[in-house]
Amino acid sequence: MVKRTRFDDSDCPVARSVDAIGDWWSLLIVRDAFDGSRRFGEFQRSLGVAKNILSARLRALVAGGILETVPAAGGGAHNEYVLTDKGRDLFPVIVALRQWGEARFFAPGEPHSELTDRRDGRPLRPLRVYAQDGRPLTPDETVVSKVAEV
Amino acid sequence: MVKRTRFDDSDCPVARSVDAIGDWWSLLIVRDAFDGSRRFGEFQRSLGVAKNILSARLRALVAGGILETVPAAGGGAHNEYVLTDKGRDLFPVIVALRQWGEARFFAPGEPHSELTDRRDGRPLRPLRVYAQDGRPLTPDETVVSKVAEV
């Protein structure tokens, strides 16, 4: 296996996040966990990937503190996978990817899954980036300060 | 090279987005483009990856319509890379990854780069997911409708 480029000591939070997620489609496991998948077989059916590959990705997500294993809900012998608080904090990342996909990868009228408000079944508002004073910001209205003491 | 798992025909917008981004750290190229990098050498210095690997990733981002090449700003012979509208629409994804990283991968007081409002230098508001009626939503208050006609 090719040695992976690492960004875990970067001073950029984007880089550390990308590094922690690791293989990029691991986010689809996180998506499935948000959607209620808990068992190995549920993830496998959803993703259609080989069992050994899925096992490795699940182990990496557990090692990274994004998923944790818990005893099966029904008292069975197997473990199930649930999001930790750290994993649940990925919700805006998943929603942002979903909305980009909806806007850019589906033809008008093409069916797609949709994330909706459980209360009224309506789709969510598009995510927007806001300044502290509440102004919506475009990328050009922002600037990265390369290293800031916090 | 191992054949890549593909999700480009999924009915889930998250999957098509993940598929389009491709290699996991390609988002760091997108981040650098938001931060003003345009030249091959600028991306290379920022990322510290081998030239042939960076070339392949840049080509893939151009092929996917996320970056486009334009003649050099100063009239030089080389091309430069700039985000397309589709690429600029990744801004919430990058901001969401940044905020997750800030919250989860830095010790208190540990220096990190920061995305700020150009007008007043203050950091941005944390991204939140809102319902159509303006209520902030937790993951549990949302549900995925598996395939919806739009």
Query: What is the Cα–Cα distance from A64 to A21, expressed in whole angstroms?
Result: 8
On chain B, the residues whose CB falls within 8 A of the CB of A105 are 8, 13, 16-17, 20
- Residues of chain B predicted below pLDDT 50: 1-3, 148-150
**Please, which residues have CB within 8 angstroms of residue A131's CB and are 6 or more apart in sequence?**
A137, A141, B117, B119, B120, B122, B124, B125
pLDDT at position B85, please? 97
pLDDT at position B93, please? 95
Query: What is the Cα–Cα distance from B123 to B116, expressed in whole angstroms?
Result: 4
Query: What is the Cα–Cα distance from A93 to A109, expressed in whole angstroms?
Result: 25
Mean pLDDT value across residues A106-135: 94
Centre a 10 Å sphere on the Cβ of residue B65 and count the other Cβ atoms it contains.
13
Closest among B108, B38, B45 to B70, alpha carbons compared: B38
- The DSSP 8-state label assigned to residue A116 in this structure reads E
CB contact under 8 A, A91 and B138: yes
- Local confidence band at A21 (pLDDT 50, 70, 90 cut-offs): confident
pLDDT at position A4, please? 57
- The DSSP 8-state label assigned to residue B37 in this structure reads -
Q: What's the pTM?
A: 0.91
| C-alpha triplet A95, A131, B133: angle, nearest 5° | 50
pLDDT at position B1, please? 38
Residue corresponding to tokens 């259609």: A48
Query: What is the Cα–Cα distance from B98 to A18, expressed in whole angstroms?
Result: 9
pLDDT at position B130, please? 96
pLDDT per residue as tens digits for the range B14-44: 988 988 887 778 999 999 999 999 999 999 9
CB contact under 8 A, B18 and A28: yes
Handedness of CA A98, A54, A22, B9 (dihedral sign): negative
Residue corresponding to tokens 């209620």: A36
**CA closest to A90 among chain B residues:** B100
CB contact under 8 A, B89 and A108: no
Residue A150 has pLDDT above 90, yes or no: no
Residues forming beta bridges with residue B130, ordered by sequence position: B136
Q: Which of A1-10, A26-35, A62-71 has the lowest mean pLDDT?
A: A1-10
- Residue pair B91/A2 in contact (Cβ under 8 Å)? The answer is no
